[in-house]
Amino acid sequence: MDLPLIQPPLNIVLFEPDIPPNTGNIARLCAGTGAILHLIEPLGFRLTDQAMKRAGLDYWDAVTLLRHKNFDAFMEQHAAGRLFLLSTRGKTPYTAARYQPGDALLFGSETRGLPEALHERFADTTLTIPMLPGAIRSINLANSAAIVLYEALRQFGPQ
């Protein structure tokens, strides 16, 4: 089965990411799927960080990367689109959502997660990746982004 092209693309949104290799790995994921990568500042690193560049390999030219000075600036650009928060605090499994091209998938900082205000504001669209209770706090950010992005692609099916 061919990987479907996403038109318009999905949006992977990282809220104040801290760990450069995670962002680099997610950039590589976006390059391979056509998803747009949004980074909401402040970042816990510089975009020139060698660990991030190394994780993204030589695929950076294939990534559509957009930076936003804060969450409100992102929302101004994405005002017409749907937004799903991904959080360990979510009650709805990510597989229950019906994704559409143009959706945005928002992931929190590796060390702080998402702010309480966003959890309250988007309670109806907060999703989670089920895990064994009590085993770990969370799944790696890059792995989480891949899991949910590929579920959305699966739902779109061959085009």
- Which pair of structure tokens corresponds to residue 112? 């702080």
What is the average pLDDT value for the chain, to the nearest integer? 88
Identify the burial level of 159 via C-beta atoms within 10 angstroms of its C-beta, where 0-12 means exposed, 13-18 middle and 19 or more buried: exposed
CATH 3.40.1280.10 fits 11-156, yes or no: yes
Q: 18-31 burial, b for 16+ CB within 10 Å, e for fewer?
A: bbbbbbbbbbbbbb
Which DSSP helix (H) or strand (E) runs through 151?
helix 141-156
Are the beta carbons of 29 and 140 closer than 8 angstroms?
no
Q: How does residue 27 score in pLDDT terms, banded at 50, 70 and 90?
A: very high
Instruction: Specify the pLDDT at position 58.
Output: 74
- What span, in angstroms and rounded, lies between the C-alpha atoms of 155 and 95? 9
Instruction: Render pLDDT for 44-71 as a digit per residue (tens, 0 to 9).
Output: 887 776 766 665 567 778 899 999 999 9
The domain locations on the chain are: 11-156
Mean pLDDT throughout 104-129? 95
**What share of the chain in percent tops pLDDT 90?**
66
Instruction: Specify the pLDDT at position 61.
Output: 82
Mean pLDDT throughout 19-24? 90
- Which pair of structure tokens corresponds to residue 87? 């959080």
Do strands 36-40 and 65-68 pair parallel, antiparallel, or not at all (unpaired)?
A: parallel
Instruction: Render pLDDT for 84-97 as a digit per residue (tens, 0 to 9).
Output: 999 999 999 999 99
